[in-house]
A and B are shown apart, each in its own frame.
Chain A
Amino acid sequence: MIEPKVYREMGLNDVEYAQVMKILGRHPNYTEVGMYAVMWSEHCGYKYSRPVLKLFPTTGPRVLQGPGENAGAVDVGDGMAVVMKIESHNHPSAVEPYEGAATGVGGIVRDIFTMGARPMAALNSLRFGELSDARTRYLFDRAVSGIAGYGNCIGVPSVAGEVYFDDSYEGNPLINAMCLGLVKSDKIARSSASGVGNPVMYVGAKTGRDGIHGATFASVELSDESEERRSPTQVGDPFTEKLLIEATLEALNTGHIVGIQDMGAAGLTCSTTEMAAKGDSGMEVDISLVPRREEGMTPYEIMLSESQERMLLVAAKGHENEVKGIFEKWGLNAVVIGRLTDDGIVRIYDNGELAAEVPAKSLAEDTPVYHMDARIPDYIAQVRRFDKDELPQIEDFEPILELLLRRHNIASKEYIYRQYDHMAQINTVVLPGSDAAVLRLKGTGRGLAVTVDCNSRYCYLDPYIGSAIAVAEAARNVVCSGAEPAAVTDCLNFGNPEKPEIFWQFRQAVEGISAACRAFGVPVISGNVSFYNESQGIAIYPTPAIGVLGVIEDIERRCTSFFKNDDDAVVLLGFNGPGLDGSEYLKAVHGRVAGCPSLDLDKEKRLQACCLEAIRSGLLASAHDIAEGGLAVALAESCFNTEGSHGVSVEISSDGLRQDDALFGEAQSRILVSLDPSKLDSLIKLAAEHDVPLMVIGAVGGSNLIIDLDGSKIIDLKIEKIESAWRGSIEEALA
């Protein structure tokens, strides 16, 4: 029998232990307890989140694979599918940021090529504390290096992403890694293992002691003892991963692989039980055959190790040697370690001795599910007490704009993406710096736009609206690139779900995402939940990172956010309104996080449809989503361009809003566009058809950013000066 202290340390509670006994009809042994503990952890089993995740819309005409496999897949035309997913690697990154971030990339990339798709692009969504803190600078720099070191080595371009700095992440950095890959629609590989007698093969790197109980570590809050938990952090080898990509895709091409899954969280335990469960099969595995890089490893350690760069596959009987030969050509281990049976039981042997015997579905599918309490947190009432008229009036707007452009949440992220090879595979036709990355689909004339977004401050103020806005913003960004949003992948980062206030945030977020996805007709095809992002009792802002994939029917009709030509008309498309709530301006200048953001899904839909049609009709020279910092910042960002910046001169009226709101407010559903004046009539007509307000505010030209507000020139700044401050801000903070 296993001592309660032992199984509780592993993450099982008394009720769950009793359940295990009931399932097995006996006490579990040490190895079996370890297996149930990792598979029933929140990270693997989704025991707190599953009931809520059911709310997501997951179907649609393009969906080839929704949630439930290693990644989701959508049809993008010409018999091609894009496989896409986002995943978190937060807890390891707080302890060992380089390897945590690197293996985050490694893990998500494996989820893509295990589906038979060649990974074609990576993105990341990162959160850190303020860069004024030395430990934060260390975490940030090492995490970026880790992503670069791994992604560059495997030849997968990191093409887009986002990073935010806020105190709420100081003890809990977030590293969310996203990846997409391309595969023929009829060649998508899956993880179901079936066919009695079919060989089970282990391929890839050797198994060591790294990452044992990584899944459990991810299912608890961080504390001072977390540093000692360095062993649950995994260590990656991107060279091995690159070999694994090539070998796996080559082996899948033989057609002799029945099912395949990568070994991620909970390693062999997860892959054996999940694959068997999906195929209604059982498995017999002899772990003495597992290649190891350390001596004296116990069955427990072998089954729970999260050593990287390993896959488990089931081959068609008789074809083992052919598959083995391919992996060995690439210098990788490839060993038959077992066979499929038909009794639904996974039996783990160690040199003939039975080490564990468990029903597959009890670990992989019938995991405990909890319905948690939700309660509105007290802080909500406090932050809603926001009267913008109490804010002091601002007289001098130039210093405010300069301040905002230097804010790390707004400043150029070039320091980061210059470290990523964003051109590998020569598909990137819109490089980092615009609203979304655009990739061509060679040989089709079509393209993809992809981005990941979340304003977590809005989500803190109202998790439902804030999360809906995250979807709207990500969709708006791909629309600004000329793409029609086609699929969503989500990474839901929250605090401790056992606290009703946190669970309320989580449920509200999922409801908000679902509402927005339904309104836009865009399904959620994959995702990940990361709970327990809190330390010393302080939770992170609710951070549902939303990745959106869009399809561009004609790659020549793509669009970027930069002004192109002097004398082009500058137009504000969309719905002006109050927007100081939760704004970067409110925090930076007035030190407040307060109010409540708002979003009208119907107006947002009309705006996006209008902008997309304008781009498809070749009307626009540029399109830029208005977000942090409001209109003034969007104007500046549209001017800045390494290939040749432009100036701009606009006249706007505050029209009933406070002046600071008109300049820096973050009202949703607005896009800043520029176009040849000869096309203006067509755009006006189009906007009227879509019932979207349109305001011509000025023209591109000169070498300054000039804003005339209510008849006074309140901003007249040299582009060269403000651009250089915007570009250098983050690097300066690290010096």
Chain B
Amino acid sequence: MKFGVVIFPGSNCDCDCRRVVEQVMEQPVDLIWHEADSVDGYDCIILPGGFSYGNYLRAGAIASHSPVMGAVKKAAADGKLVMGICNGFQVLAEAGLLPGVLQRNKNLRFICKFLHLKVEHNKSAFTNACSPGQVLRIPIAHDEGKYYVDTKVLAEMEAKGQVLFRYCDAGGTVSAEANPNGSLGNIAGICNRKGNVMGMMPYPERSAEEILTSADGRLIFESMLRHLRQVWK
């Protein structure tokens, strides 16, 4: 399964994603420069974390107009998998490939720490290797991670199972204390109606190896591989 990781000017976590795909998941992966006009040939595109364009204007706003995004939109329409991590999620939201916006954290500060996510359901390309309600230990590191979407859209999203991850405590309770940034409904990760485009604020590639104190993030990559293999068959 061929993976592509997009590099925007200011992306930081492209090499981390490449490492996990190549060394941990043992899949072929290319880095794709943001000026590329095609992403044909890739089964999955990853938009990595970082500070594309220095987060000028709004996080992800300028990158969402990068030349490569035309090709990413086409890939999404074609049903390819697209995963946005942190800044990547912000780019997808700005590009209209995912609903909602990511605003400044409630406490107005950057927050970097390990926390827990509840897997809402495992009927998705990105969570099928998890069990429903499973608690994953995955870190965040962001300044603008407060998810917001209007009530009507949120209701549709909930009904269609588009909420994939919520911030929770170690025991799996989705509570205000467990919410690091004020996100609506403790939402940490979502997908589109079709289920092939996903965005999450926490970093699965930072928790895909035991030595980094958690390998739970690996399950998300495993889910993607399982999904791609089924679809291929």
Contacts and interface: CB of A to CB of B under 8 A. Distances in A.
B111 A155 contact: no
Contact of B112 (A154, A331, A423, A426): A423
A46 interface: no
Interface string B175-213: 000000000000000000000000000010110010111
B19 interface: yes
Contacts of B212: 423, 426, 428-429
Interface stretch (B8-16, B117-125, B152-160, B161-169): B8-16
Contacts of B74: none
A209 interface: no
Nearest to A423: B206
Q: Is the interface of B mostly helix, strand, loop or mixed?
A: mixed
B113 interface: yes
Nearest to A428: B212
Contacts of B10: 153, 239, 242-243
B50 interface: yes
B148 interface: no
Given A330-B9, A424-B12, A429-B212, A148 B110 contact: yes
Contacts of A419: 109-112
Contacts of B42: none
A155 B9 contact: no
Interface string B128-152: 0000000000010101000000000
B111 A239 contact: no
A421 interface: yes
A418 interface: yes
Interface string A148-168: 110011110000000000000
Interface string A649-662: 00000000000000
B51 A423 contact: no
Interface stretch (B52-60, B65-73, B75-83, B92-100): B52-60
A554 interface: no
Contacts of A426: 16, 19, 205-206, 209, 212
Contacts of B203: 423
Contacts, number: 81
Interface string B101-121: 000000001111110000000
A413 to B, nearest CB: 13
A448 to B, nearest CB: 14
A138 to B, nearest CB: 15
B211 A429 contact: yes
Contact of B141 (A149, A152, A242): A152
Contact of A421 (B19, B54, B110): B110
Contact of A440 (B15, B16, B211): B211
A423 B12 contact: no
B54 A153 contact: yes
A431 B211 CA distance: 12
A422 B112 contact: yes
Contact of B51 (A239, A331, A425, A428): A239
B50 A155 contact: yes
A421 B16 contact: no
Q: Which of the four size classes fits the interface of chain B?
A: 20 to 34
Given A419-B109, A419-B110, A152 B51 contact: yes
Contacts of B209: 426
Contacts of B15: 425
Contacts of A420: 110, 112
Given A243-B10, A419-B112, A423-B206, A238 B51 contact: yes
B141 A424 contact: yes
Interface in A429-459: 429, 431, 440, 442
Contact of A331 (B9, B12, B110): B9
A572 interface: no
A149 B56 CA distance: 13
A37 interface: no
Nearest to A151: B110
Contacts of B9: 239, 242-243, 330-331
Interface string B42-53: 000000001101
Q: Which of the four size classes fits the interface of chain A?
A: 20 to 34
A594 to B, nearest CB: 39
A421 B114 CA distance: 11
A732 to B, nearest CB: 14
A642 B113 CA distance: 10
Given A243-B10, A423-B141, A153 B55 contact: yes
Contacts of A424: 12-13, 16, 141
Contacts of B51: 152-155, 238-239, 242
The CB with the most chain B CB atoms within 10 A, among A149, A421, A431, is that of A421
Nearest to A332: B9
Nearest to B55: A153
The CB with the most chain A CB atoms within 10 A, among B15, B51, B206, is that of B51
A237 B54 contact: yes
Interface in B1-35: 9-10, 12-13, 15-16, 19
B215 to A, nearest CB: 12
The CB with the most chain A CB atoms within 10 A, among B13, B141, B205, B206, is that of B141
A555 interface: yes
B208 to A, nearest CB: 8
A418 B105 CA distance: 13
Contact of A555 (B205, B211, B213): B211
B53 A421 contact: no
Nearest to A442: B19
B112 A418 contact: yes
A555 B210 CA distance: 13
Contacts of B114: 642
A423 B206 CA distance: 7
A66 to B, nearest CB: 31
A402 B12 CA distance: 42
A708 B51 CA distance: 53
A113 to B, nearest CB: 14
B17 to A, nearest CB: 10
Contacts of A240: 54
A418 B19 contact: no
The CB with the most chain A CB atoms within 10 A, among B10, B113, B143, is that of B10
Contacts of B111: 418-419
A418 B112 CA distance: 5
A505 B176 CA distance: 52
Contacts of A429: 211-213
A119 B16 CA distance: 15
A238 B112 contact: no
Contacts of A642: 114
Interface string A236-252: 01111011000000000
A134 to B, nearest CB: 19
A547 B110 CA distance: 26
A243 B8 CA distance: 10
Given A239-B56, A423-B141, A429-B211, A155 B110 contact: no
Contact of B13 (A145, A155, A237, A431): A155
Interface of B: 9-10, 12-13, 15-16, 19, 50-51, 53-56, 109-114, 139, 141, 143, 203, 205-206, 209, 211-213
3 nearest CB pairs, A to B: A239-B54, A155-B12, A421-B141
11 contacts: A145-B109, A154-B12, A238-B54, A418-B110, A418-B111, A418-B113, A419-B110, A424-B141, A425-B16, A440-B211, A442-B19
Given A154-B51, A155-B51, A429-B213, 18 more contacts: A149-B110, A155-B12, A155-B50, A238-B51, A239-B9, A239-B51, A239-B53, A239-B56, A243-B9, A331-B9, A420-B112, A421-B110, A421-B141, A422-B112, A424-B13, A424-B141, A426-B19, A442-B19
